[in-house]
Structure 1
Amino acid sequence: MSPFKIMTFNVKGSYYEDGENNWPLRANLNSDTINHFQPDLIGFQELQQGNIDHYAQTLNGYDYELGAETARENNSGSGYYCAIYWKTERFDKLDCGVFFLNETPDHYALDWGVT
């Protein structure tokens, strides 16, 4: 297999109120950066539905798999996902799964001082 490019982003969700850093003000910069560099694989943290919708409109040639929806640290508001996006011309999904870094890896739990 030839070398491939990977990018990762913690997008901080789309529903958080964060003044000048609100998702609508960051969305195009994020997707423009991805489209400029054309990574083969992309890892995302803290995706919410607004992020997913934006990427569906702006990232062509990718498929994705969402991890389990997890709650915010205080269990309030919308949860978020981790996701992997891949270029469909380079990769096929063979399998997928989710595990959590806690005492019960098959079940979501806020263990080990998670923040």
Structure 2
Amino acid sequence: MPVKTTVRQLSTAVATAALIVAASLAGTGTAQAAGRTPMRCRTVGSPDDPAIASALRVLGVAHRNLDAPVGLSCTPMPNGDRRVNFCAPKNTLNTIAAVGQRPRGHVCP
């Protein structure tokens, strides 16, 4: 893949992710308990985890609530699916990055 195409795709992904994370962090900085979508995320962790912090920094996001976990590169899953490792608000767009909570077992409350 040519370098220009890779850079363009990365720039688009970063811009989209910045909007998603910013929307997730708006308001109280935490997701509401009701209406969570079960997801499988490649990375789930604390915003102060070096990998998560680096991704948020690249996106230009300052995450203030260190108690709310962050999921990166997420895919929606059926609730109860054994691959569910994260729960995020239903309004999370494109699932590039989301603020939410860990499931109980593999079920989102």
One fold, TM greater than 0.5?
no
Instruction: Report which structure shows greater RCO (CA 8 Å, sep ≥6).
Output: 2
More helix per residue = 2
- Structure whose alpha-carbon radius of gyration is higher: 1
TM-score, length of structure 2 as denominator length: 0.32
